[in-house]
């Protein structure tokens, strides 16, 4: 099972972005950055970046109980 979140960070230096990405990528082997788009800010503030990220987490799907399909229990014999 995969869960993802997309978000934007703004006005970061390259070192701040690097530190953030290292934290995301190394805290858990089940979390990863799956999309990263970096843009440089205006010419006057060229040392600042904006980034759009998608971070995903991965987990095993829970075992299905007898009579369950697609993650929900079906009513038997109404």
Mean pLDDT rounded to a whole number for the chain: 84
pLDDT of residue 6: 96
Domain boundaries, the chain: 2-59
**Tens-place pLDDT, residues 64-75:** 777 766 654 444
pLDDT of residue 74: 47
Q: How confident is the model at residue 55 (pLDDT cuts 50, 70, 90)?
A: very high
CB 51, CB 14: distance < 8 Å: no
């Amino acid at each position: 099972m995969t869960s993802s979140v997309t978000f934007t960070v703004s006005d970061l230096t390259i070192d701040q972005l690097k530190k953030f990405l290292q934290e995301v990528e190394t805290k858990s082997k089940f979390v990863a950055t799956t999309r990263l788009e970096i843009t440089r800010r205006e010419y006057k503030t060229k040392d600042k970046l904006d980034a759009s990220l998608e971070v995903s987490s991965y987990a095993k799907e829970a075992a299905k109980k007898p009579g369950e399909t697609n993650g929900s229990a079906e009513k038997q014999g109404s």
